[in-house]
Chains A and B, each alone.
Chain A
Amino acid sequence: MKLLDCPMNGPRNIDEFQSFGPLRQAPDADAAADAEWARHLFRADNRKGVVVEWWRHVPSNFFFLAQRDVVTNEIIRTYAPGSRP
């Protein structure tokens, strides 16, 4: 079992969470060209190293962010959106 520390519910089994993939900046809807949209939709960050990604605690439907190393699977920190130092 692996634990994920939910900013609202505390440490829970990672089975209770759903991954929503790496955080990415949405393009400017009025200005973005097709290529930029395609990039935004299809090319998520896949570098070896630390990523910031969206997670949801499924039973409480709480969305938050986690910093995770995608090689070692170490979860470095978790935080609620907006609370980012």
Chain B
Amino acid sequence: MPLRLLKYGLSRDYPVTGDIPATPELKPSYDVVIVGGGGHGLACAHYLSKYHGIASIAVLEKGYLAGGNTARNTTTIRSNYITQEGVAFYKEGVSLFETLSQELDFNVMFSQRGQLTLAHTEATLRAFHLRAEMGKHMGTRTEVIDAKEVEKLVPELNMDRGGALEILGGLWHADGGTARHDAVAWGFAAQASRRGAEIHQRTEVQGFEVGNGQVRAVVTNRGRVACGSVLIAAGGMNYDVAMMAGVELPIRCYPLQAMVTQPLKPWLHTLVSSVSLHTYLVQSSRGEIVIGGGSDPYQLYSTRSTLDMKEHLAEGAVHLFPFLQGVRLLRQWAGITDMTPDYSPIMGASPLANLWLDCGWGTWGFKATAVAGKRLAETIAKGRVPDLLKPFALERFEKFRLLNEMGATAASH
């Protein structure tokens, strides 16, 4: 590595090796067409090409690579959910991140520094105990800690003793962490394209040709492609894209906003989240404090930001860490999230035989990028849904078998 770097530095023409080839011509047909070139779609292309011997893959992306919610997310990775099915799934998601840099030969900067969720009320503490017990039962590192231990972990916290938002304890999740979102998407894309998967940027899916209970072809702004199987992984547009195939998903779109401060010296060494304040913070490897919170209060197909939400996030952040009050905001943004009624994703079969779903990722799907890609690749290659994904089927709504993760999702991602 150092020699290669030296050679590069001394060479005259600085040879550029692109990780991802330029968009090729569309072929008339592919074995697998993936709608959406975000982290999820690219991960599926990687696992299909590496482990299932399928190379005839087209990833169709209407904009630029991973410019959707993958680009906008605050990169919390964790498995401290409530339901047994949820914890089992996200646990595999976290463990794949632990070795993802090696898997992709690409540094995804996974930093497993632990996540601390704060309780300001007895009721929250009780809910934490439930999550901790489920987490332990499932073999993850999740425990309830008291106020003293919270203070030891994050000495900068305003404990607000005797105040209305006194910190009574926390849910400490040592398995939690973050990774670099662009690197995750690019790592999957580079690997998949090296094995022959094609990534078509600025290629918008505009409809499907459906007949005999199957998708026959995908219609795009660059022409029509016939397909063996199709995966919908279109992020905030999942409802819209599925509707083009006549599949109505139980999804409603809400904006989710976030922002970062100017870079500071490293001081925040864990992820910190407050349920009551609907605010969470993490310090990025560039030193910026990334601040996020709950969804917008009403449905909208827009990535606009609002001053109201920014004020609310700033208020929460400054309450927890009063010395942040003079710090400047550097950037702010929003993404359109595809929210399900039970705050769990929809993965697996659709009413059409060869159309598969990787939808309903709402505000929580980055952490599942690798595991969803891996398990849906297996699903598509074998034509059957693995046990790990079965509880997340679209049919769960008709059967009233919801996987309610609202309490573990709404505020803390």
Residues of A in contact with B (beta carbons under 8 Å apart): 1-2, 15, 18-19, 21-22, 34-35, 38, 41-44, 46-48, 51, 53, 70-73
- CB of A46 within 8 A of CB of B300, answer no
Distance of B403 from chain A, by nearest CB (Å) = 13
Specify which chain B residues have a CB less than 8 angstroms from the CB of A47 in the assembled complex.
243
How far is it, in angstroms, between the C-alpha of A41 and the C-alpha of B250 when the chains are bound? 9
Nearest-neighbor residue (CB-CB) of A41 within chain B:
B341
How far is it, in angstroms, between the C-alpha of A22 and the C-alpha of B297 when the chains are bound? 14
How far is it, in angstroms, between the C-alpha of A47 and the C-alpha of B251 when the chains are bound? 10
| 8 nearest CB pairs, A to B | A19-B298, A42-B250, A42-B397, A38-B398, A71-B301, A46-B252, A42-B341, A43-B250
> Given known contacts A15-B308, A46-B239, A46-B253, is B398 in contact with A34 (CB within 8 Å)?
yes
- CB of A48 within 8 A of CB of B297, answer no
The residues in B between 156 and 203 inclusive whose CB is less than 8 angstroms from any CB of A are none
Instruction: Say if the beta carbon of B14 comes within 8 Å of chain A.
Output: no
> Given known contacts A46-B251, A48-B240, is B398 in contact with A18 (CB within 8 Å)?
no
- CB of B400 within 8 A of CB of A38, answer yes
How many contacts A-B (CB < 8 Å)? 50
How far is it, in angstroms, between the C-alpha of A35 and the C-alpha of B298 when the chains are bound? 27
The residues in B between 292 and 331 inclusive whose CB is less than 8 angstroms from any CB of A are 297-302, 304, 306-308
Nearest-neighbor residue (CB-CB) of A48 within chain B:
B301
Distance of B395 from chain A, by nearest CB (Å) = 10
How far is it, in angstroms, between the C-alpha of A83 and the C-alpha of B253 when the chains are bound? 29
Specify which chain A residues have a CB less than 8 angstroms from the CB of B308 in the assembled complex.
1, 15
Instruction: Say if the beta carbon of B248 comes within 8 Å of chain A.
Output: yes
- CB of B301 within 8 A of CB of A38, answer no
> Given known contacts A15-B308, A43-B250, is B397 in contact with A70 (CB within 8 Å)?
no
Q: How large is the interface on B (under 10, 10 to 19, 20 to 34, 35 or more residues)?
A: 20 to 34
- Could you give 19 example pairs across A and B, Cβ below 8 Å? A1-B307, A1-B308, A15-B308, A19-B298, A22-B299, A34-B398, A41-B397, A43-B248, A43-B249, A44-B252, A46-B299, A48-B240, A70-B299, A70-B300, A71-B300, A71-B302, A73-B300, A73-B302, A73-B304
The residues in B between 336 and 353 inclusive whose CB is less than 8 angstroms from any CB of A are 341
How far is it, in angstroms, between the C-alpha of A70 and the C-alpha of B251 when the chains are bound? 14
Indicate the member of B240, B253, B297, B301 with the most A CB atoms within 10 Å. Answer: B301
How far is it, in angstroms, between the C-alpha of A70 and the C-alpha of B307 when the chains are bound? 19
- CB of B298 within 8 A of CB of A38, answer no
Instruction: Please pick, from A18, A34, A41, the residue contacting B297 in the complex, using a CB distance under 8 A.
Output: A18
Specify which chain A residues have a CB less than 8 angstroms from the CB of B243 in the assembled complex.
47
How far is it, in angstroms, between the C-alpha of A41 and the C-alpha of B299 when the chains are bound? 17
Q: Digitize B44-56: 1 where CB-to-A-CB distance is under 8 Å, 0 elsewhere.
A: 0000000000000
> Given known contacts A15-B308, A43-B248, A43-B250, is B397 in contact with A21 (CB within 8 Å)?
no
Distance of B303 from chain A, by nearest CB (Å) = 11
Specify which chain A residues have a CB less than 8 angstroms from the CB of B341 in the assembled complex.
41-42
Indicate the member of B239, B252, B341 with the most A CB atoms within 10 Å. Answer: B252
Indicate the member of B250, B252, B298 with the most A CB atoms within 10 Å. Answer: B298
Instruction: Please pick, from B249, B252, B304, the residue contacting A21 in the complex, using a CB distance under 8 A.
Output: B252
Distance of A65 from chain B, by nearest CB (Å) = 14
Instruction: Please pick, from A19, A21, A35, A48, the residue contacting B398 in the complex, using a CB distance under 8 A.
Output: A35
Given contacts A44-B250, A46-B239, A73-B300, 13 further A-B contacts (CB under 8 A): A1-B308, A15-B308, A19-B299, A38-B398, A42-B250, A42-B341, A43-B397, A44-B252, A51-B299, A70-B253, A70-B301, A71-B300, A71-B302
Specify which chain A residues have a CB less than 8 angstroms from the CB of B301 in the assembled complex.
48, 70-71
How far is it, in angstroms, between the C-alpha of A85 and the C-alpha of B247 when the chains are bound? 33
Specify which chain A residues have a CB less than 8 angstroms from the CB of B249 in the assembled complex.
43
Nearest-neighbor residue (CB-CB) of B397 within chain A:
A42
Specify which chain B residues have a CB less than 8 angstroms from the CB of A72 in the assembled complex.
302
How far is it, in angstroms, between the C-alpha of A47 and the C-alpha of B253 when the chains are bound? 9
Specify which chain B residues have a CB less than 8 angstroms from the CB of A21 in the assembled complex.
252, 299
- CB of A19 within 8 A of CB of B297, answer yes
Distance of B62 from chain A, by nearest CB (Å) = 15
Specify which chain B residues have a CB less than 8 angstroms from the CB of A38 in the assembled complex.
397-398, 400
Q: Digitize B241-273: 1 where CB-to-A-CB distance is under 8 Å, 0 elsewhere.
A: 001000011111100000000000000000000
